[in-house]
Each structure stands twice: as structure tokens, then as C-alpha cells.
Chains A and B, each alone.
Chain A
Amino acid sequence: MKKKALSAVLTAAMAVSMTAGMAMNVSAATDEFAGEELSILVSAGWMDDRYKATIDRFEDTYGVTVDLQTIPADQYSDILLSKLATDSCTDVFWIQSNPFAIESQIVDPEKYCIDFTGAEWEAKIPEVRRAACKCNDKLYGMQFWHNSPEYVMLYNKSLFEENGWEVPANYEELKALCAQILDAGITPWFMPGADGWQHQLPFFQIGGIYEEAQPGLYEALNNNTATFADNEKMLEVLNQFKEFSDAGYFGEDWIGTDSTNMANEFADRNCAMALANSSYIKQIKEDTGTEDEFGLFIEPLGDNTWFPSSPAGPTMFGYNGSEHPELVKEWFNFVAQTESLQEILDNSPSYTNIHANDDAVEQHWLPEEEEFMNSIPEEKMAVSVLQNGTKYTNDYWMNFGQDLVSFCLGEMEANDVLANMDTNRAEAAKVAGDPAWN
């Protein structure tokens, strides 16, 4: 009994001393930074309300103020570059990063970015995203973004079940299915070509299949030892796309159709499938009130079996010329805490998860997402989508889209579409002074 009482007293004493220690730490931190201001430059849509609670807590904890400068997306890049060039950047800034963006956008990370190498929070960034935060093996950025399935095939499960249609596993099955759906008077695959940026996705989201067909392709494309032109798998996919276009599987006038009415088209059962984000299921249901159920499957063009991993996303950097480098470091530590990550996720209504190595964060996956994600083997997630896995490709997204339409209208050859991408990438590499192209 005495032992029990003693252990209880000791435990209580230990708890009291730990609490006192923690309080002392917070107090020291508060004293250290009190009255300072942390300025953050960010493009609209990257932080917004989702960071508000975290910023409030940070201000309260450290007795500082956060000056959040949100810039319209179309002006952001110019403003950031100007601020970097004139040594007048904010303490923290963001870029839309991918494995090549630090070098191409920030140009000289050693000069402009705080080196966070060795920071504890690096372990919280998923392996696939770290390349977008590092340059020359040094850690500069912090990327915590969502990892919902992006632009995979979304289909009306109820419609499929009622008609006895099976989810296709390869190109031939997809083609046969589309013929059946079209016979039923329904547009098989809704393709919003008039948006100008969506119809490229079927080609680029299946990067894994190109890499599988020609191992080392991504690296070769990045070293300028391979080209898009004459790539057999890419030509095969482009020709399949045109075949679908010619057959009317994308709708009678997909080139003139935009995505404004896509949710209604799904709810009215005018279309059966589309390339979309998993969160779109929620949108269809909320916008239209449909009781149909929806599901996801891997895009089967080119007999693809790869998940479209995309290690890109808005990424936060510390400015090397900051007057408060220690406060900046505290901010990064603070954001990486479980509580902050949870706040960020909970305040992001469009996202169901946050991609972080932190099991304590409670994710909000949709059942459809869980079902889909569980059906994909881990190794099929290892290759990035083509546009973010190869240098300068994403910069010419819209041009590729125009060429793709020209190809479908018979104005261009498939290989010319690919050759134009090579020419454009070479142009971007020249601007960037990329040694692989010079």
C-alpha cells in the first residue's frame, strides 16, 4: 500500500515537474519572439482559411503577429520573383513545387532560401514529396498537401450495375464498354475540351505506363537523351484518344463542350464516365441531389495500370534574408505539429486527407476513395504523372492541348504533337540555362 502511495506521489511529482518544464519552454519561446512579425507571401487558394486557426494559435503561443499577404494567382509568380530579386521578400514564401521547380523557379535556392537540412519535420513529409522540397540534397521547402486520387476514371456505379457493365481493366475492354454505353444513348466518357486544360489529362496522367514501356524514360527525358517524338507508347495512346474522339465516345462535340454542366450530366445519366478527382463525387451528390452511387478506377488508355501519383503542390519556403530566421524556423516546426496538420485538414472542406507521415492525424477519406486506394498495389504508385515527373513539360500544357485538338481534327499528325512538346521543352530549357540542353 505504502509502495503504491509512494509511486503515486512520485508520478505526480514527475508530471508536475514536466508540466513546469514545458511551461518554462513556452514561456521562453514567448519571451524570445514577443512583438516580432512574421510575414508570409502566398498565392490565393494555397492557405486561405485552412491555416487561419494555426496562425491564430501561433500568434497566441509566441506573442507575435503574422502578416499574411495573399496575392491573386495570376500575379503571384511575378511579384515573388521581383521581391526575391530586390531582396525584399517576406519571411516565408510559397511556390507551386515539383521535383524541378526549386531550380527553375527560385533559380538560386542557396541565396534565397533558408536551409532546413536536418529539421525534424522532414520525416513528416512523405518520401514521394521530398524531391519537391529539396535541391542538391538540401532541404528548403515544406510540402503538406492532400493526396486524393486526382483525375482517375470516375463512373456512375449505379448505372453500370443496372446495365451489367463491368469496370474495364484495359484498352480493349474500355473500347467495348464505350460502344455499349453509346448504344444505350449515353455519352460514354465526358470530355470537356472547351476548358482547354482537361483533355490533356488522359495522356499525361498515365505516366507510369510510359516508364514501364521504356524503363528510364523519365530520367532520359530530363537529361535530354530521349524525346517525346517517336515514343511508341505515347503514339499508341494518342491514336487511341483520336479513335475515341472519332467514334463519338467523348460526346458529339467534346471540343466545344466545357465542364460547367458536368455534374448535371452525371446526375441526369447523360454521361457514364469522366476523368475527375475523387472529391467530385461529393460535388455531384451535393450539387444535384442524385442518389446514384459513384466509383473510381484506373484510366485504361494504353493498357495503363498505374496510379497517377503527383508529387507536386504548394510548398512553403523560408526566406534567407529574413530578419527573423529563428521565428521562421519556429513557424515551420509549428506547422508540422500534429495539431496544426489536423487543423489544416479540418479547415479544408474540399480535401479529405492531408499527405503527411503522421498517423495521429485523423483523415476523412470518402468510402469510394478508400475502396479505390485499397485496390491499388503500393508499387503502382511509385511513378509520378508525366507532367510533374519530367522537366518543362507542365509549362506547355495548354500548347499540348491545342495540338491534341488539332490532331483529333486531322490538322496534325500524332508524332508532330509529340515533336512540338520536344521543341517547347528545349525552349524552356534554353531560358533556364539547363546544361542538359546546352
Chain B
Amino acid sequence: MNKKRIYPQWFLIVPLALYIIFFLLPSIMGVGYSVTDWNSRSVLTGVHFVGLDNYKEIFLSDKNYLSGIGHTLMFTIVSNIVKLIPALLIAIMLQEGLRGQGFYRTVLYLPSILPFVIIGLIFKSILNYNNGLLNMFFEAVHLDFFKLKWLSDLNVVWKSIIGVDAWRGIGYVMTIFLAGLNTIPKSYYEAAQIDGANFWQRLRYVTLPMLTGSIMINLVFGITYGLKVFDIVYVLTNGGPGHATEVLTTYAFQLYSRGQYGMSTALNTILLIITAVVGVFIVKTLGKQEVQQ
């Protein structure tokens, strides 16, 4: 039996060691520090165990940490819906023999390779109320009622962030869907067509069941990305206006910047737990469905 193995087990040692040193150990240390008063003065005064005080502060104080957690969950759900559905439809469209599909694929994927800082600078400029491109365009075509305070109106700001995030992320999600679509045998669609299935029926009974793997990958990536979202919020609004777009990571960042490292790691520990639970749940649920099919 052992002889049939391509690689011996000791090949695992190096990657496992790297994983433990650079991923597992820091996470465990983070959890450990979350029950201490580690702060910027600890280098002089030492680190002390404080039990669950940091967590009590997060959940029981009248600060906005809970709203940050709420915003994070909302962003995770909405941004995934906004990205996954259009990306799937675009992928199907591009798979259906559209002319110049290679060009469209490239154009749609391009935003994914742009750094967040660049995207933030560009969109902050585009979405500026007074002299941004978008509002100037609406003015030019006499659609002034569309002119909005994209990044400073409480009712609009989340839509702007999620919109920019979707603009950046759809191409990436689409690429994974395209890879999945390529693995579905053409004969399934031909058989479905012979049986008289229309587009939606083919989508419901052929495409979606066969795409479970790609959906799972996109969901796991999308949800973990959503839960630890930071860059796009930081560069566009920095949590504002006021605290309207604060997420878990922006609070963690602020606490860290102020030297409250213990509190910051407590917030990150909460994020770690949520991500781990949600991730395991998705993989188990969708994994089961895949096995059943």
C-alpha cells in the first residue's frame, strides 16, 4: 500500500512547519494576547492577564463595536449576493459563444488586479460630491436628481462601497465560474434541449448542480473576504461618515493604532471564530450536497 504513494509523508514536514509557525502559532498567540492588557506601554510596564475584560468591553460597553460586527456581517452577505449572481450570469453569457468573449473576460477581470489604494483614490475622486466625475456627468446630462453625496450620505455610503467592491470583484468571481462551466459536458445541455428545457430550466437543473464546486469556492472566498473586509472601507470612507461604515477590522486597526493591542487582538479573535465557524459550516453543507449529487 505504502509503495503506491507518490510522495512520502515526511514531505509534509516543511509546509506543515511553515503553516504552524506563520499561521497557527500567531493565531494562537493572538487568542492568548486577547485576554491580556497588552498595550503600547507594556514594553515598560509588562503584560498582565485580565481574563475576559476585553471581551466584556466589546460586548457590554456602549461603544460601537457591536455595530461594527453587524456591519461586517451585512457587508459579507450583501457583497456576496451582489457579486455572485451577476458574475454567474456574465460567466454564462460569455460561455455561450459571445463575440469577442476573450476581450470581455479580460476587461471584466482587470479591476481585480488593481491595488485597493489605487481603486480608493480613483473612486474617491469619481464619487466626490462637488467635483467628482459621476456628479459632473449627471449635471451635464441634466439628471441632477441623481447627484448624490456618495461617500458622506448615510443612506448612500454603503451602496457606494458595495458597488465599488463589486466592480472590483465580479471579474474574479466570474473567472472561477467560467472554469467551472468549462467542466460541464456539452452533452448535458444538448440532452436538456432535446427534452425541451428552456434557459432557466437548464440553469436550474444542469448548470447550478454541476457548478456546486465553483459556487462553494466563491462562497468560501467571498465570505472570508467579506468578514475580514478592511481595505475598501479604509480607503473609501475610513469608517465614516461618523461611525456609519465601521467594520470589525477598522475598529481593530484603530485600537492597534492607539496602542491597545490586547483589545485589538480580542476583536480579531472574534473575527477568527466567526470566520472559522462560517467557513466550516459552508464547506460541510455544500460538501454534502456535492457528494449526494
Contact = CB atoms under 8 A, between A and B. Distances in A.
Interface of A: 77-78, 81-82, 84-85, 107-108, 193-194, 196, 251-253, 255-257, 261, 395-396, 398-399, 402-403, 405-407, 409, 411-412, 420, 423, 427, 431-433
B40 interface: yes
Contacts of A407: 242
Given A196-B238, A252-B129, A398-B254, A432 B41 contact: yes
Contact of A252 (B130, B241, B242, B244): B130
A253 B40 contact: no
A256 B43 contact: no
Q: Which one of B62, B240, B260 has the greatest number of beta carbons of chain A within 10 Å?
A: B240
Nearest to B132: A256
Given A256-B129, A395-B258, A431-B260, A78 B40 contact: yes
A82 B259 CA distance: 13
Given A405-B241, A409-B154, A411-B154, A253 B130 contact: yes
Contacts of A406: 241-244
Contacts of A420: 63
B39 interface: yes
B105 interface: no
Given A256-B128, A256-B149, A81 B40 contact: yes
Nearest to A405: B242
Given A253-B149, A411-B244, A412-B242, A108 B44 contact: yes
Given A194-B152, A405-B240, 17 more contacts: A81-B43, A85-B43, A107-B41, A193-B152, A193-B241, A196-B238, A252-B129, A255-B240, A255-B241, A256-B241, A257-B130, A395-B258, A402-B242, A409-B154, A411-B244, A423-B63, A431-B37
Interface string B129-155: 111000000000000000001111010
Contacts of A433: 45
Contacts of B259: 431
Contacts of A427: 260
Give chain B's interface secondary structure class: loop
A256 B149 CA distance: 8
Chief secondary structure at chain A's binding surface? helix
B213 interface: no
A402 B149 contact: no
Contact of A256 (B37, B63, B152, B243): B152
B164 to A, nearest CB: 15
Contacts of B258: 395-396
Contacts of B150: 256
A253 B240 contact: no
B239 interface: yes
A78 B42 CA distance: 11
Nearest to A255: B152
Contacts of A77: 40
Contact of A411 (B40, B44, B242): B242
B180 to A, nearest CB: 40
Interface string B237-251: 011111110000000
Nearest to B154: A409
Nearest to A196: B238
